Amino acid sequence: MGHAVDDAQLEGVARDHRRRVGAHRDRDLCDQRVHPPARGPYTNPDTGGLKPDEVVKKAHEADLRLVRFLWCGNDGTIRAKASAIGGIEGRIESGIGLTVAMQAMNGLDQLQPVEGMGPVGEIRLVPDPETFRVLPYAPRTGAMLVDLVALSGEPAPQCPRSFLKRMAARLEERAGTLEVAFENEFSLATRENGEFVPVDSSLCFSTIGLTASQTYVDALVDALECQGIELEQYYAELGHGQQELSTKHAPALRAADEQVLVRETIRAVATSLGLVASLAPKPWPENAG
């Protein structure tokens, strides 16, 4: 990021919105098809294993305007770019462009010095149609999880989802199966005089704490069910305002995809009710985390 560049070298690129840098066979990068990655055995029970044209059909039936392309960064931050519904079919096949630098960002959006992951260069966000959901908390919006794909069509080396696929496949070669479940602990708060205040100060597993968040719990369970995500348990935990939920175990890729959706839903439902949900391990130093 500290290298000097001759303006004359960039002049032609700036004039051409199609960026010819790196093009091959006399074709522009934007005109070259980026082949989607091979799909694994994961089938989303909510969609029944949708194909691209079926996603487009369902999106139109739901009167969607946007579809979010979701991925989880190496810093643990869930990020997204959204496609307008008019271009969704083509973007399911070729994806959306993303700088390779994003997977080298930390949780403060500070680019880290990782070789090969600087601000120059692009990967594609290629969605998996089988992960398509209509988001119950975002009006006229859907979502799909994506693979990070190199311009060659191969999985990008910095793609965590592709890495998980490879590890699960290696385990299957050894007659093993990876089943995963997640337990999410988070804290609910209200904003009062510029501070975050826990929604309750009850004891661990107390019904007082569970009742205090009942409206939120009802809305959260509804939203998860709308996305085909099965809840196993829910209760008030030790910390003030602390909640905990667990989801049913599933094959590793499906469980990881659904964990991203669960985290998004936890926060979004809280926002819709005027609350704040934090997945930080210890948001209040004086309380249990």
| pLDDT at residue 49, as a whole number | 66
User: From CA 172, how far away is CA 185, in angstroms rounded?
Assistant: 31
CA–centroid distance for 179 within its chain: 20
For 12-39, what is the mean pLDDT?
A: 37
Give yes or no for residue 260 having a pLDDT over 60.
yes
Mean pLDDT is lowest, of 35-44, 182-191, 228-237, for 35-44
The full 3-state SS of 257-287, as one line of letters, equals: HHHHHHHHHHHHHHHHCCCEEECCCCCCCCC
Query: What ranges do the domains of the chain cover?
Result: 33-173, 179-278
Top mean-pLDDT range of 18-32, 107-121, 217-231:
217-231
Nearest to 156 by CA among 101, 82, 87, 91: 101
Decide: 29 and 150 in contact? Cβ < 8 Å. no
Confidence of residue 251 (pLDDT cuts 50, 70, 90): very high
Between residues 137 and 11, which one has the greater pLDDT? Answer: 137
For 116-135, what is the mean pLDDT?
A: 92
Give yes or no for residue 161 having a pLDDT over 90.
yes
For 42-70, what is the mean pLDDT?
A: 81
For 66-76, what is the mean pLDDT?
A: 95
Give yes or no for residue 102 having a pLDDT over 80.
yes
Q: Which helix (H) or strand (E) holds 132?
A: none
pTM equals 0.81
Q: In this predicted model, what pLDDT tens digit does every residue of 165-199 receive, in sequence order?
A: 999 999 999 999 999 999 999 999 999 999 999 99
Decide: 148 and 124 in contact? Cβ < 8 Å. yes
Decide: 265 and 227 in contact? Cβ < 8 Å. yes
- What average pLDDT does the structure give for the chain? 85
179-278 CATH = 3.30.590.10
33-173 CATH = 3.10.20.70
